């Protein structure tokens, strides 16, 4: 089948590569000339495990192509996927300008029947606005062309995106046209073989399903972070509590890790956008506001621990392990590392940072500055620092040479923002060890 995808970011590029991998002819359209040029050269602008090989092989086979030209995009695919960004607007609502720009471009070029599939995370009612925008463009041209608008939210996780797309837990298709649902079922058939995971529903429910999924995951994290702060004050160990509650199958072990807050391009913006949607329809979504507030506060915890230990942080040097918002990605959008670095800089401290893949992204975000040194290795980062903070739980940080770290630091102070180390072991090795929610000293 022929597929066009607007937006070649984490979602669009993964969708394009996976659809090409199973034999479809995919054309990716983006407005970023640099990105398209790099992709045409076979260079991947983002880090996502397994993506490079897939893009390279499918491009070579001619099944995956890239263009800046929306007219070519509209002419190519029966399916027109919208996978552009929906960043938060100033008031927290989702900024739909990119989605509506694609809708306008489709309307300006449409010649024959197309299925417009919205993969971006968008507020309930956006499919109507997309339909309207395409309709307006058609009316402006004085033509009538049939088209459908479908909501097909994406649930992939950065860092495991290929596997999530290839073996989805569910494929949500929101449409009011049964024929369109069947065409999407055919497109998704290669990813839906083991048992039927395609959930066809009405458009508004599909749009809300995506927000509901992210909001409940964010709620689990904020709940655990709230309890970790309580555990700390009560002298309890949140890690033991975590295992204690996770053993109940109604609760489960997944996604109940306390830490330094959630980040990324989805949870923060989607929780805010859902709260905003609620407000727009006259409902005060109290829980959603609390989830977000708890998270904002939690991102400050590593800084507060450093401040409590050192007092004035002016002139101190802090080693930071992890910049990406989570392991296996280079994405630093809303990352906890950024909150920490910015607080340290404001307090007059310097940062020596290391991340296995997000160094380039960090350089792009912050440029050259005297109070940030991007180090070549984890060990180089701790060299001569006053303390080490671990903020992203990359595998390579799990079992480091603690003796070498201790000897490289001016003071053996370790703030573990993800609870990946054992407090007893840290104490035996002479560290002053702070973690999240594990007793009064930690």
> 144: buried, middle or exposed (CB in 10 Å: 19+, 13-18, 0-12)?
exposed
Q: In the set 1, 22, 25, 31, which binds ligand NAD (CB under 6 A)?
A: 31
Q: 392 vs 419, which CB is nearer to ligand NAD?
A: 392
Least distance between ligand NAD and beta carbon 28 (Å): 9
| Contact indicator for 332, 353 with CB cutoff of 8 Å | no
Residues 247-286 that bind ligand NAD (CB under 6 A): 265-266
Q: Is 263 annotated as a binding residue?
A: yes
Per CB under 6 A, 206 contacts ligand NAD: no
Q: Tell which residue, 423, 424, 377, has the closest CA to residue 404.
A: 377
Is 17 among the residues that bind ligand NAD (CB under 6 A)? no
Active site residues: 266
Q: Is 147 annotated as a binding residue?
A: no
| Per-residue DSSP letter, 305 | H
With CA atoms as reference, report the closest residue to 5 among 216, 152, 204, 145.
Answer: 152
Q: Which of 4, 12, 288, 330 binds ligand NAD (CB under 6 A)?
A: 12
8 touches ligand NAD (CB under 6 A): yes
Residue 10, interface with ligand NAD (CB under 6 A)? yes
The single residue among 98, 338, 350, 418 that binds ligand NAD, judged by CB under 6 A, is 98
- Cα 150 to Cα 117: distance, rounded to the nearest angstrom: 5
C-alpha to C-alpha distances, 260 to 215, 333, 420, nearest whole angstrom: 18, 15, 12
Among 21, 48, 148, 154, binds ligand NAD (CB under 6 A): 154
* 280 labelled binding-site residue: no
Tokens linked to 218: 């964010």
Bin 198: left if φ > 0, else alpha if -120 < ψ < 50, else beta: beta
Nearer to ligand NAD, 106 or 389 (CB): 106
| DSSP symbols for 339-392 | HHHHHHHHTT-EEEEE-SS-HHHHHHHH-S-TTEEE-SSHHHHHTT-SEEEE-S
At 168, phi and psi to the nearest 5?
Answer: -70, 150
Strand partners, 416: 390
Closest residue to ligand NAD, judged by C-beta, is: 9
Chain positions contacting ligand NAD, by CB under 6 A: 6-12, 29-32, 35, 83-86, 98, 101-102, 120-121, 154, 156, 158, 265-266
Summarize the annotated binding site for NAD(+) as residue ranges: 30, 35, 86, 121, 158, 269, 333
Binding-site residues from annotation for substrate? 155-158, 210, 255-259, 263, 326
Could you tell me which residues are annotated as the binding site? 30, 35, 86, 121, 155-158, 210, 255-259, 263, 269, 326, 333
């Amino acid at each position: 089948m022929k597929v066009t995808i607007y937006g070649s970011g984490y979602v669009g590029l993964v969708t394009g590569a996976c659809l090409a991998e199973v034999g479809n002819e995919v054309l990716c359209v983006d407005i970023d000339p640099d990105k398209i040029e790099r992709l045409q050269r076979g260079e991947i602008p983002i880090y996502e495990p397994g993506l490079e090989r897939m893009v390279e092989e499918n491009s070579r086979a001619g099944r995956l192509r890239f263009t800046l030209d929306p007219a070519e995009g509209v002419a190519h695919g029966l399916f027109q996927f919208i996978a552009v960004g929906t960043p938060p607007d100033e008031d927290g609502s989702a900024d739909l300008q990119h989605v509506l720009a694609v809708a306008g471009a489709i309307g300006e070029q449409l010649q024959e029947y197309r299925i417009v599939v919205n993969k971006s995370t968008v507020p309930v009612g956006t499919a109507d606005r997309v339909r309207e925008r395409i309709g307006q463009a058609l009316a402006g041209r004085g033509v009538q062309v049939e088209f459908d608008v479908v909501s097909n939210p994406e649930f992939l996780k950065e860092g495991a995106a290929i596997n999530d797309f290839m073996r989805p837990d569910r494929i949500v298709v929101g449409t009011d046209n049964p024929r369109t649902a069947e065409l999407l079922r055919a497109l998704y058939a290669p990813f839906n073989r083991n048992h039927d995971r395609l959930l066809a529903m009405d458009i508004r429910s599909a749009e809300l399903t995506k927000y509901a999924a992210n909001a409940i995951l964010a709620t689990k994290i904020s709940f655990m972070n709230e309890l970790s702060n309580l555990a700390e004050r009560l002298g309890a160990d949140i890690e033991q509590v975590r295992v204690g509650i996770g053993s109940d199958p109604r609760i489960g072990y997944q996604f109940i890790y306390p830490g330094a807050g959630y980040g990324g391009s989805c949870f923060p913006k989607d929780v805010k956008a859902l709260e905003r949607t609620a407000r727009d329809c006259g409902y005060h979504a109290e829980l959603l506001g609390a989830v977000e507030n708890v998270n904002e506060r939690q991102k400050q915890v590593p800084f507060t621990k450093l401040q409590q230990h050192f007092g004035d942080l002016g002139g101190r040097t802090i080693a930071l392990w992890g910049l990406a918002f989570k392991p296996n990605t280079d994405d630093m959008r809303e990352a906890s590392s950024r909150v920490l670095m910015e607080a340290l800089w404001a307090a007059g401290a310097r940062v020596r940072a290391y991340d296995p893949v997000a160094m380039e992204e960090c350089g792009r975000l912050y440029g050259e500055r005297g109070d940030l040194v991007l180090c070549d290795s984890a060990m180089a980062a701790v060299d001569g620092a006053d303390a080490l903070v671990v903020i992203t739980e990359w595998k390579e940080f799990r079992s480091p040479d603690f003796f070498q770290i201790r000897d490289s630091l001016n003071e053996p102070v370790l703030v573990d923002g993800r609870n990946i180390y054992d407090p007893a072991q840290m104490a035996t090795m002479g560290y002053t060890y702070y973690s999240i929610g594990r007793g009064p000293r930690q």
